[in-house]
Amino acid sequence: MLDLFAITAPGLEPLAAAELRALGIEGVVEPGGVAWTGPAEQMHEANLRLRTASRVVVRAARFRARTFFELERHARKVPWARWIAPGGQVRLRVTSRKSKLYHEGAIAQRLLDAIARAVGQVEGGTVADDEADVAADAQLFIVRFVRDWCVISADSSGALLHLRGYRQALAKAPLRETLAAAMLLGSRWDTRTPLIDPMCGSGTIAIEAALMARGIVPGLAMASREPRAYAFSAWPDFDAAAWSAAVDRARGEILPSAPAPILGSDRDAGGIQASIANAERAGVGVDIGFSVRSLSAIEPPAEAGIILCNPPYGVRVGEREPLRNLYAVMGRTLVERAPGYTLGLLSADKQLEGHVGLPFREVFRTSNGGIPVHLVLATAD
Ligand SMILES: C[S@@+](CC[C@H](N)C(=O)[O-])C[C@H]1O[C@@H](n2cnc3c(N)ncnc32)[C@H](O)[C@@H]1O
């Protein structure tokens, strides 16, 4: 059994817990993710299927160390060879808070020494944060010291899980795929009613919607339906047969088409071009109707569904004034053109939301590119 943890952006933990529950896994929500104990098969499933998680990690060790001597003693007992193939590369991401051992570089050096003792000389180094470009075949260990307690986790995902592979063409301010999926899950869209993103940029929300509607798991989000790469497949005890059974099961669940219309539009033609190319790469081009048009010109299908979008926030000086009008148009368009539809906004500004003129309720708070945002929903009658 493994101690597993699905890391999420702050605020998305309950959504990842609900996704795990749907897989039959009862996890415990903690700040920054969801913890559970399970076999390697569940680690495979979580990596392949979770739409809102950024990584899945395995706890390698937990101990108290207040001196380098204690750290070295515990580090020698960590079974490093379980996660590092002979000749493999290693990266450590070390953070230390409120601990006697606070020099992150020195902690990393002691751990790299312990790794070299256990598995032989490896090409090792440190990374500053999750965004750092971790070499594709380097095994990442996340090391956290808090109040002298050290937790070491082995990353099983490799590249961050929002990197599904399909999004190569970008428009302005693209949304992470995991956050787009969180908006869809948080809005409780049931995949059987129309879904419209009238400010779709590079198409992330619409493409994530199409993947969900067709039952395509994020790990198979490329048109080839070949799985993306994961760190666990380089582990010495990797069970290739169990993994390929998990992939086959997921492939077998894919529906031939989305059950309801999915529409994406933007006034920026470049954005729509990017959206179409991204949707083709994800193999869901036929499931989404993309068009160049302004928000006020959308033509929602008669059967009510959800309008879900990530409008500009106007965080820079001088941007807010023109945005008041955009937010007001959103409210008017919903009432006049989309009665009965639910509007979901990822918004950074309560005042701008006020210009929509609808009673919003908050679903979750998180951050998008460092900006605090929340998903709010309202229905026009
Ligand atoms: C924050 S971006 C959306 C990014 C998108 N979620 C993605 O993942 O790429 C906001 C988008 O709103 C579009 N937009 C702004 N005003 C609009 C309007 N009046 N009508 C249609 N689109 C508009 C912009 O062109 C831009 O692509």
**Count of positions (residues) in the chain:** 381
User: pLDDT tens for residues 241-255?
Assistant: 999 999 999 999 999
On the question of pLDDT at 147 being above 90, the answer is yes
- Could you tell me the two tokens for 257? 């088409």
Kindly state if the Cβ of 13 falls inside 6 Å of ligand 1.
no
Question: To the nearest 10°, the Cα dihedral for 172, 176, 182, 183?
Answer: 0
Pairing outcome for strands 2-7 and 262-266: unpaired
Count helices and strands in the chain by DSSP H and E runs: 10, 15
The model's confidence at residue 133, banded by pLDDT at 50, 70 and 90, is: low
- Taking residues 375-381, report their average pLDDT: 88
Share of the chain above pLDDT 90, in %: 87
Identity of the amino acid at 58: V
On the question of pLDDT at 134 being above 60, the answer is no
Residue whose Cα lies nearest atom 13 of ligand 1: it is 199
Kindly state if the Cβ of 264 falls inside 6 Å of ligand 1.
no
Kindly state if the Cβ of 65 falls inside 6 Å of ligand 1.
no
The model's confidence at residue 128, banded by pLDDT at 50, 70 and 90, is: confident
Share of the chain above pLDDT 70, in %: 97
User: pLDDT tens for residues 341-350?
Assistant: 999 999 998 9
Angle at 146 between CA 141 and CA 152, to 5 degrees: 20
Range of 86-95, 230-239, 313-322 with top mean pLDDT = 230-239
Residue 94 and residue 2: Cα distance in Å, rounded?
22
Q: Quick one: how far is CA 141 from the chain centroid?
A: 19
Atom of ligand 1 nearest to the CA of 200: 5
Cα(293) to centroid of ligand 1, in Å? Answer: 11
Centre a 10 Å sphere on the Cβ of residue 116 and count the other Cβ atoms it contains: 14
On the question of pLDDT at 318 being above 80, the answer is no
* The CATH number of domain 2-155 is 3.30.565.60: no
DSSP bridge pairs for 265: 291
Kindly state if the Cβ of 373 falls inside 6 Å of ligand 1.
no
- Taking residues 290-318, report their average pLDDT: 91
- Could you tell me the two tokens for 325? 């009008």
Angle at 282 between CA 278 and CA 283, to 5 degrees: 115
Question: Average pLDDT, whole number, for the chain?
Answer: 94
- Taking residues 297-325, report their average pLDDT: 88
The structural domains of the chain, with segments of one domain joined by +, span 2-155, 177-216+253-379
pLDDT (0 to 100) of residue 136: 65
3-state secondary structure of 128: coil
pLDDT (0 to 100) of residue 322: 84
Kindly state if the Cβ of 266 falls inside 6 Å of ligand 1.
yes
On the question of pLDDT at 381 being above 90, the answer is no
Kindly state if the Cβ of 199 falls inside 6 Å of ligand 1.
yes
The model's confidence at residue 121, banded by pLDDT at 50, 70 and 90, is: confident
| Nearest of 32, 40, 41, 27 to residue 13 by alpha carbon | 32
H or E element that contains 333: helix 320-337
Question: 105: exposed, middle or buried (C-beta count within 10 Å: 0-12, 13-18, 19+)?
Answer: exposed
pLDDT (0 to 100) of residue 366: 97
Integer Rg of the chain from CA: 22
- Taking residues 309-323, report their average pLDDT: 80
- Taking residues 263-288, report their average pLDDT: 97
pLDDT (0 to 100) of residue 171: 72
User: pLDDT tens for residues 43-91?
Assistant: 999 999 999 999 999 999 999 999 999 999 999 999 999 999 888 899 9
Kindly state if the Cβ of 195 falls inside 6 Å of ligand 1.
no
User: pLDDT tens for residues 164-209?
Assistant: 999 987 777 789 999 999 999 999 999 999 999 999 999 999 999 9
H or E element that contains 363: strand 361-368
On the question of pLDDT at 124 being above 90, the answer is no
Determine the residue of 267, 288, 326, 347 to mutate for testing ligand 1's pocket, defined as the one with the most ligand atoms within 8 A of the Cβ atom.
Answer: 267
Kindly state if the Cβ of 174 falls inside 6 Å of ligand 1.
yes
* The CATH number of domain 177-216+253-379 is 3.40.718.10: no
Residue 152 and residue 91: Cα distance in Å, rounded?
12
DSSP 44-77: HHHHHH-SS-SEEEEEEEEEE-SSHHHHHHHHHH
